Amino acid sequence: MTSLRRINQDDLRNHNLSVVLDSLLRATDQLSRADLAKETGLTKATMSVLVSLLMDNGVLEEGVPAGQSLYGRPSIPLLIRGGQLCGIGLQVNTDGYGIAVLDINGTTVDEQWVDADMTNANADEVFRNLDELAKSQEASLDRMGYTLVGSGLALPGLVTDDLRLLGARNLGWEQLDLKTFDVVRRLNPKVDNEANAAALAQIPGYATQRRGIGLVEPTDSFIYLSTDVGIGGAVVRDGHVVRGDHGFGGELGHVSVDMRGPICRCGRRGCLEVYAGRRSMVSAAGIASSDAAATRESINELIDHWRQRDSKAVAVVEKALEAMASVIASIINVCDIDTVMLGGLWAHFEPDLIRRIGRMVRPQALSYPEVQARVMMADVVARPALIGAAEVGLRNFVDNPLEFLERE
- Binding residues for Zn ion, per CB under 5 A? 254, 264, 266, 268, 271
Q: How far is the CB of 340 from Zn ion (least distance, A)?
A: 20
The smaller minimum CB distance to Zn ion, of residues 42 and 271, is found at 271
Q: Which is nearer to Zn ion, 256 or 396 (CB)?
A: 256
Closer residue to Zn ion, CB minimum distance, 131 or 194: 194
Q: Which is nearer to Zn ion, 27 or 331 (CB)?
A: 331
Angstrom distances, CA of residue 135 to CA of 104, 131, 205: 20, 6, 28
CB of residue 323 vs Zn ion: minimum separation in angstroms?
12
CB of 374 to Zn ion, least distance (A): 27
Smallest gap from residue 280 Cβ to Zn ion (A): 10
Residue number, 255 or 313, with CB nearest to Zn ion:
255
Q: Give the CA angle between residues 201, 16, 379 to the nearest 5°.
A: 15
Give the residue with the Cβ less far from Zn ion, 83 or 261: 261
C-alpha to C-alpha distance for 364 and 342, rounded to whole angstroms:
18
Closest distance to Zn ion from the beta carbon of 193 (Å): 15
Shortest Cβ 328–Zn ion spacing (Å): 16
Q: Which secondary-structure segment (H or E) carries 109? A: strand 108-115
Strand 158-159 with 222-227, pairing: unpaired
Nearest distance, CB of residue 324 and Zn ion, angstroms: 15
Q: Which is nearer to Zn ion, 169 or 374 (CB)?
A: 169
Q: Report the 3 state secondary structure along 322-367.
A: HHHHHHHHHHHHHHCCCEEEEEEHHHHCCHHHHHHHHHHHHHHCCC
Q: What's the per-residue H, E or C state across 155-212?
A: ECCEECCCCEEEEECCCCEEEEEHHHCHHHHHHCCEEEEHHHHHHHCCCCCCCCCCCC
Q: What are phi and psi of 41, to 5 degrees?
A: 80, 5
Query: Cβ closer to Zn ion: 26 or 254?
Result: 254
Query: Would strands 147-155 and 85-93 be described as parallel, antiparallel, or unpaired?
Result: parallel
Q: How far is the CB of 120 from Zn ion (least distance, A)?
A: 20
List Cβ<8 Å contacts ≥24 apart for 47-52.
47/20, 50/13, 50/16, 50/17, 50/20, 51/20, 51/78
**Are 165 and 158 a contacting pair, CB within 8 Å?**
yes
Contact residues for 255 (Cβ-Cβ < 8 A; gap 6+): 271, 272, 327, 330, 331
